[in-house]
Structure 1
Amino acid sequence: MASPPGGHVFLAMLPITLAVFISFLTIGMQMPVLPLHLHDTLGMGTLVIGLVIGLQFAVALLSRPWAGNLADLRGAKRAVITGTLFAASSGLAYLASLAFVATPATSVWIVVLGRILLALGESLIATGALGWALGLVGPQNAGKVMVWVGIAIYGAYALGAPLGVAVNAQWGFAGVAGAVGVIPLLALAVVARVRAIAPSASRRTPFYKVLGAVLWPGMGLALSSVGFGLITAFIALLFAARQWGNASLAFTAFGLAFIGARIFFGHLPDKLGGAKVALVSVAVEVVGQLFIWRAQTPSFAYVGAALTGLGYSLAYPGFGVEAVRRAPPQTRSLAMGAYVAFMDIALGLTSPLAGALAGVQGIGSVYLAGAITVALALIIALRLAFGTPATTTHASLGRTP
Structure 2
Amino acid sequence: MVAMDTARNASAAMAGLLPIMAAVFAGFLLIGLALPALPLHLHQGLGFGPFAVGLVTGSQFVASLLSRIGAGNYADARGGKRAVVVGLIAAALAGFIYLGSLALLDRPAASAAMLFVGRAVLGAAESFIITGGVAWGLALAGGQHSGKVIAWVGTAMFAALALGAPVGSALYTAGGFAAIAFATIVLPFATLLATLPMHGVGPAGATARQSWTSVAQAVWLPGVGAALSSLGYGAILSFAALLFSERGWHPVWLPFTAYAASLIAARLCFGQLPDRLGGARVAAIFVAVEGVGLLLIWSAPGPLVATLGAGLTGLGYSLVYPGLGAEAVSHLPSGSRGLAMGLYTVFLDVALGFGSPVLGLVAASAGLQFVFLAVAAAAVPALAIALLLRRKSSAVRRV
TM-score band, normalised by the shorter chain?
0.7 to 0.9
Q: RCO higher in 1 or 2 (8 Å CA, sep ≥ 6)?
A: 1
Among 308, 322, 326, the residue aligned to 2:327? 322
Shift of 1:378: 1.5
When you count helix as a share of all residues, which structure comes out higher?
2
Deviations 1:178-198 (A, max 9, x none): 433432333212211012222
Shift of 1:386: 3.7
Among 73, 80, 84, the residue aligned to 2:77? 73
Pair 68,147 (structure 1): closer, same or farther in 2 beyond 3 Å: same
The one-letter code matched in structure 2 to 1:74 is R
Deviations 1:91-114 (A, max 9, x none): 444555667789887666544433
Gapped runs of 5+ residues in structure 1? 396-401
For residues 216 and 171 of structure 1, the distance between their equivalents in structure 2, rounded to whole angstroms, comes to: 47
SS of aligned partner of 1:225: helix
Counterpart of 2:216 in structure 1 is: 211
Deviations 1:314-358 (A, max 9, x none): 101211221121223321211222222222222222244345555
- Asked whether the 8 Å contact 1:29–1:163 carries over to 2, the reply is yes
The answer as to 2:183 corresponding to 1:186 is no
Shift of 1:76: 1.9
Counterpart of 2:204 in structure 1 is: 200
Among 377, 386, 396, the residue aligned to 1:372? 377
Which of the two has higher C-alpha Rg? 2
For residues 240 and 234 of structure 2, the distance between their equivalents in structure 1, rounded to whole angstroms, comes to: 10
For residues 315 and 145 of structure 2, the distance between their equivalents in structure 1, rounded to whole angstroms, comes to: 22
For residues 168 and 250 of structure 1, the distance between their equivalents in structure 2, rounded to whole angstroms, comes to: 25
The answer as to 2:132 corresponding to 1:160 is no
- Asked whether the 8 Å contact 1:151–1:262 carries over to 2, the reply is yes
The answer as to 2:237 corresponding to 1:227 is no
- Asked whether the 8 Å contact 1:67–1:337 carries over to 2, the reply is yes
Within 5 A, what are the aligned runs for 1:5-24? 5-24=9-28
For residues 202 and 252 of structure 2, the distance between their equivalents in structure 1, rounded to whole angstroms, comes to: 44
Pair 29,239 (structure 1): closer, same or farther in 2 beyond 3 Å: farther
Counterpart of 1:255 in structure 2 is: 260
For residues 299 and 103 of structure 2, the distance between their equivalents in structure 1, rounded to whole angstroms, comes to: 41
SS of aligned partner of 2:206: coil
Q: Comparing 127-136 with 247-256, which one deviates more in the overlay?
A: 247-256
Counterpart of 2:29 in structure 1 is: 25
For residues 105 and 365 of structure 2, the distance between their equivalents in structure 1, rounded to whole angstroms, comes to: 28
Within 5 A, what are the aligned runs for 1:15-94? 15-31=19-35, 44-45=49-50, 55-94=59-98
Pair 294,100 (structure 1): closer, same or farther in 2 beyond 3 Å: farther
The answer as to 2:311 corresponding to 1:306 is yes
Deviations 1:39-92 (A, max 9, x none): 7876645x8777765553443232122111111212222110110122233344
- Asked whether the 8 Å contact 1:201–1:331 carries over to 2, the reply is no
For residues 56 and 380 of structure 2, the distance between their equivalents in structure 1, rounded to whole angstroms, comes to: 26
Among 351, 374, 387, the residue aligned to 1:382? 387
The one-letter code matched in structure 1 to 2:204 is S
Q: Comparing 259-268 with 356-365, which one deviates more in the overlay?
A: 356-365
Equivalenced residues, count: 391
For residues 91 and 358 of structure 1, the distance between their equivalents in structure 2, rounded to whole angstroms, comes to: 36
Shift of 1:25: 1.4
TM-score between the two structures when normalised by the length of structure 2: 0.81
Q: Comparing 81-90 with 298-307, which one deviates more in the overlay?
A: 298-307
The answer as to 2:340 corresponding to 1:335 is yes
- Asked whether the 8 Å contact 1:269–1:317 carries over to 2, the reply is yes
Q: Once superposed, what is the RMSD of the aligned Cα atoms?
A: 3.7
For residues 294 and 96 of structure 1, the distance between their equivalents in structure 2, rounded to whole angstroms, comes to: 49
Q: Comparing 358-367 with 14-23, which one deviates more in the overlay?
A: 358-367
Deviations 1:282-315 (A, max 9, x none): 2222344445556687666654443332211110
The one-letter code matched in structure 2 to 1:28 is G
Shift of 1:117: 1.5
Counterpart of 1:121 in structure 2 is: 125
The one-letter code matched in structure 2 to 1:308 is T
Pair 107,170 (structure 1): closer, same or farther in 2 beyond 3 Å: same
The one-letter code matched in structure 2 to 1:339 is Y
For residues 44 and 296 of structure 2, the distance between their equivalents in structure 1, rounded to whole angstroms, comes to: 27
Q: Comparing 125-134 with 290-299, which one deviates more in the overlay?
A: 290-299
Q: Comparing 380-389 with 213-222, which one deviates more in the overlay?
A: 380-389
The answer as to 2:355 corresponding to 1:350 is yes
For residues 344 and 316 of structure 2, the distance between their equivalents in structure 1, rounded to whole angstroms, comes to: 18
